[in-house]
């Protein structure tokens, strides 16, 4: 009985153990299936999750194009101090004129008169009037002469004892004047036309005992000497070619100038013209006009020196009126934008959960359309690329440059709504907009200050410019494919003062 009971108990135990094991095995299999299913689901989710990468916006081409840059005109009044010229003339114009081989030889007037003279000039007096320079001085002369009787051109008596004039009673005086007219040809040649006026005697010269007034004889001899001087001046200075000097000026205009952190300036000169010049008092005033097409760029352009063109007509006006294109490549602009926005993180409310959005990098892209594309690489709770579009505008009143009406591109909207609709948030647009807005007031004031410094300086010893900027404003924004052009207009006044003249040319 005991054995039967033990057998039955053992059989029941084995049955119970078998059922328990089956339950456990069944339970384990279910758990494994659940775990494996979760892994499959997770794997599926992982394999289906991807970065948001919409296609680049394809903005339609429009009639938008860059207008041609208007010619800038710089009207440069130049005041040349003529005192150095006076000094130069004083040093280089002879101070003493005499009869030939004075005092040994005589000048013979026919058979019956002979004389010799000495003439010295006083300080030069220069007067300027319109395009004429008057060079005058007072001369002082003395003369020695004698006479004899002649019949039919044959001497019948010896020469009388020489008589003198201008010795004991003081030197006789005469006023001498040269009129010099100046013309400048289109090929930069200065033509000097000299006219000797008739000498005007102040004192008569009556020679001793015969009482003859020989002033006219002296004037005749003086005119001969002055004509020799006139011929010599015309031979050496009647035509002066200043084109080599003008070429040096043109080369300076063709150079590339650094703007101290604001980029590089290329003036691109087109034409030169002297609209007028005239002399007044001790100054020569020249009105030089320069036509140019200046461009500012972040990258240093290639310098190209060209031959100076012949002078061409430029409509005269006051001051300068400069239209300037700032040629800004997008890489340089992107560096400015990313200096402020890269790494910025902000939260987006998604019900009770806050999602994180981080700007990794931002790029501005031109498309040949009035609009500009803003490409944002982002991270955070999602990762990928978002494209925005907007129109670059400038507000003259606030001096603010911004990408106006910025919004998600259509293709970006579709991609976000399919993957993470929380990304389609106005907060993201607003945050990105903040960093595509630039206050240019400080830039404009810095540019004006720098320009005023450049306008008022000594370029070389004795040559100095003076001027000021009246107004500097932006007039147009052109987002081209490869670069953004910001056009500005600057007005003001500029003059040049030449206090010393290089006579080496």
For residue range 423-441, what is the model confidence (pLDDT) as tens digits? 888 999 998 998 888 888 8
In terms of domains, do 149 and 291 share one?
no
The residue behind tokens 């010229």 is 85
Tokens of residue 69, six digits: 């840059």
- Count structural domains, the chain: 2
Domain hosting residue 246, numbered range: 72-77+242-330+442-498
In terms of domains, do 304 and 177 share one?
no
* Closest C-alpha among 36, 44, 79 to residue 495: 79
Quick one: pLDDT at residue 360? 94
Cβ contacts of 321 within 8 Å, gap of 6 or more: 72, 73, 489, 490, 491
Residue 450 domain flag: yes
Residue 361 domain flag: no
Q: Evaluate if residue 48 carries a pLDDT over 50.
A: no
Quick one: pLDDT at residue 505? 41
Using CA atoms, how far apart are residues 294 and 70, in angstroms rounded to an integer? 10
User: Which has the higher per-residue pLDDT, 236 or 107?
Assistant: 107
Q: What is the 8-class DSSP label of residue 157? A: S
Q: In whole numbers, what is the pLDDT of the chain averaged over residues? A: 79
Using CA atoms, how far apart are residues 68 and 270, in angstroms rounded to an integer? 14
**110, 153 in Cβ contact below 8 A?**
yes
Domain boundary among 220, 241, 262: 241
Residue 323 domain flag: yes
Please state the rounded mean pLDDT for residues 400-417: 90
Q: What is the 8-class DSSP label of residue 86? A: H
Question: 264-313 pLDDT, tens per residue?
Answer: 888 889 998 887 777 777 777 888 888 998 888 877 888 888 999 998 87
Using CA atoms, how far apart are residues 287 and 496, in angstroms rounded to an integer? 10
* Closest C-alpha among 93, 190, 81, 96 to residue 136: 93
Q: With H, G, I as helix, E, B as strand and everything else as coil, classify residue 422.
A: helix
In terms of domains, do 235 and 165 share one?
yes
Please state the rounded mean pLDDT for residues 65-92: 79
Cis peptide before 415 (omega within 30 of 0): no
Instruction: Name the pTM for this structure.
Output: 0.61
Q: Evaluate if residue 25 carries a pLDDT over 80.
A: no
The residue behind tokens 């579009």 is 389
Q: How many residues does the chain have?
A: 505
Binned at pLDDT 50, 70 and 90, residue 62 comes out as low
In terms of domains, do 216 and 125 share one?
yes
In terms of domains, do 161 and 224 share one?
yes
Residue 433 domain flag: no
Residue 316 domain flag: yes
Cβ contacts of 148 within 8 Å, gap of 6 or more: 111, 112, 155, 156, 157, 158, 159, 160
Quick one: pLDDT at residue 449? 86
Most confident of 129-133, 199-203, 364-368, 449-453: 199-203
* Closest C-alpha among 409, 405, 395 to residue 430: 405
In terms of domains, do 208 and 100 share one?
yes
In terms of domains, do 90 and 128 share one?
yes
Binned at pLDDT 50, 70 and 90, residue 95 comes out as confident
In terms of domains, do 273 and 312 share one?
yes
The Cα-based distances of 478 to 46, 293, 392, 431 in angstroms read 44, 17, 8, 24
Question: 181-228 pLDDT, tens per residue?
Answer: 878 888 888 887 888 899 898 988 776 655 667 677 778 777 887 888
List helix spans (H) across 79-155.
Answer: 83-92
Q: Evaluate if residue 454 carries a pLDDT over 70.
A: yes
**183, 191 in Cβ contact below 8 A?**
yes
* Closest C-alpha among 451, 466, 467 to residue 499: 466
Domain boundary among 241, 273, 304: 241
Tokens of residue 117, six digits: 């003279």
**277, 184 in Cβ contact below 8 A?**
yes
Question: 255-264 pLDDT, tens per residue?
Answer: 888 877 667 8
Using CA atoms, how far apart are residues 190 and 151, in angstroms rounded to an integer? 55
DSSP strand E in 332-482: where? 345-350, 353-366, 372-380, 384-395, 400-408, 437-439, 457-460, 463-479
Q: Give just the sign of the alpha carbon dihedral 387, 388, 393, 399.
A: negative
Binned at pLDDT 50, 70 and 90, residue 333 comes out as confident
Residue 475 domain flag: yes
User: Which has the higher per-residue pLDDT, 13 or 487?
Assistant: 487
Using CA atoms, how far apart are residues 328 and 16, in angstroms rounded to an integer? 86
């Amino acid at each position: 009985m005991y054995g039967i009971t033990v057998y039955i108990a053992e059989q029941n135990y084995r049955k119970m153990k078998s059922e328990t094991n089956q339950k456990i095995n069944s339970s384990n299999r279910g758990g494994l299936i659940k775990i494996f299913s979760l892994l499959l689901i997770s794997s599926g989710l992982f394999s289906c999750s991807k970065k948001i990468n919409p296609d680049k916006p394809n903005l339609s081409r429009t009639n938008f194009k860059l207008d041609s840059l208007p010619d800038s005109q710089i009207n440069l009044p130049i005041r040349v101090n003529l005192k150095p010229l006076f000094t130069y003339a004083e040093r280089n114009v002879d101070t003493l004129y005499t009869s030939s081989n004075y005092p040994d030889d005589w000048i013979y007037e026919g058979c019956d008169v002979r004389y010799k003279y000495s003439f010295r000039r006083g300080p030069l007096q220069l007067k300027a009037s319109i395009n004429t320079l008057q060079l005058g001085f007072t001369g002082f002369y003395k003369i020695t002469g004698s006479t004899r009787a002649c019949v039919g051109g044959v001497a019948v008596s010896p020469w009388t004892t020489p008589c003198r004039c201008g010795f004991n009673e003081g030197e006789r005086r005469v006023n001498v004047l040269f009129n010099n007219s100046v013309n400048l040809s289109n090929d930069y040649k200065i033509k000097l036309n000299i006219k000797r006026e008739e000498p005007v005697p102040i004192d008569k010269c009556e020679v001793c005992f015969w009482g003859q007034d020989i002033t006219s004889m002296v004037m005749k001899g003086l005119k001969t000497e002055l004509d020799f001087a006139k011929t010599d001046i015309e031979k050496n200075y009647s035509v002066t070619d200043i084109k080599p000097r003008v070429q040096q000026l043109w080369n300076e205009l063709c150079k590339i100038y650094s703007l101290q952190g604001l980029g590089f300036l290329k003036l691109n000169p087109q034409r030169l013209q002297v609209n007028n010049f005239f002399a007044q008092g001790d100054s020569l005033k020249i009105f030089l006009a320069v036509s140019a097409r200046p461009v500012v760029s972040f990258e240093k352009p290639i310098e190209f020196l060209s031959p100076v063109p012949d002078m061409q007509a430029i409509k005269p006006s006051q001051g300068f009126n400069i239209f300037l294109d700032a040629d800004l490549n997008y890489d340089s602009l992107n560096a400015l934008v990313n200096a402020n926005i890269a790494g910025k993180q902000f939260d987006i409310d998604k019900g009770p959960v806050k999602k994180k959005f981080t700007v990794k990098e931002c790029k501005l892209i031109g498309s040949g359309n009035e609009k500009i594309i803003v490409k944002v690489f982002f991270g955070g709770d999602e990762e990928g690329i978002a494209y925005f579009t907007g129109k670059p505008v400038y507000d003259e009143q606030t001096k603010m440059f911004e990408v106006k009406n910025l919004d998600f591109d259509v293709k970006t909207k579709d991609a976000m709504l399919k993957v993470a609709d929380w990304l389609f948030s106005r907060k993201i647009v607003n945050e990105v907009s903040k960093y595509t807005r630039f206050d240019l007031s400080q830039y404009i004031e810095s540019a004006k200050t720098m320009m005023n410094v450049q306008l008022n300086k000594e370029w070389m010893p004795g040559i100095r410019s003076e001027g000021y900027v009246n107004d500097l404003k932006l007039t147009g924004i052109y987002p081209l494919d490869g670069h953004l052009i910001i056009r500005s207009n600057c007005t003001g006044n500029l003059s040049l003062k030449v206090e010393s003249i290089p006579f080496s040319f």
